């Protein structure tokens, strides 16, 4: 079955940096788009970055999304982290799987905790 596996979360001091990774595996024909969301306790899930063949959008200026197509992996470089960046970060991807007929679906990773604390 297709999976999105995230890594790179952890504890960091304010002003520090982290790089999140999300690797997709399975019967992948193509990845049409990949996104990063975050959700802090008691708050709605928020889109923070998106990448597709046409370009990228970073909704937080200190964050940069990128991808390695050969590895089916998307990254989120997070710099100058602030306390308010603390959240569970989720990878999301629109993926077309191998097979006949319409098979494009949206998939989610399990989430990785990012905690910014002094």
Share of the chain above pLDDT 90, in %: 92
Instruction: Express each pLDDT in 67-115 by its tens digit.
Output: 999 999 999 999 999 999 999 999 999 999 998 777 899 999 999 999 9
Summarised one tens digit per residue, pLDDT across range 1-19 is 899 999 999 999 999 999 9
Q: What is the DSSP string of the chain?
A: --EEEEE--EEE-TT--EEEEEEEESSEEEEEEEEEEEE-TTS--EEEEEEETTEEEESSTTEEEEEEGGGTEEEEEE-S--GGG-EEEEEEEEEEESSSS--EEEEE---EEEEE--
């Amino acid at each position: 079955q297709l999976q999105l596996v995230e890594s790179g979360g952890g504890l960091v001091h304010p002003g520090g940096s982290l790089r999140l990774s999300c690797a997709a595996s399975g019967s992948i024909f193509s990845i049409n788009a990949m996104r990063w969301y975050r959700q802090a306790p008691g708050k709605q899930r928020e889109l923070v970055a998106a990448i597709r063949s046409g370009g990228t959008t970073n909704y937080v200026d200190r964050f940069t999304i990128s991808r390695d197509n050969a590895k089916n992996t998307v990254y989120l470089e997070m710099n100058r982290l602030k306390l308010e960046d603390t959240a569970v970060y989720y990878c999301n991807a629109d993926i077309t799987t191998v097979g006949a007929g319409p098979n494009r679906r949206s998939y989610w990773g399990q989430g990785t905790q990012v905690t910014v604390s002094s």
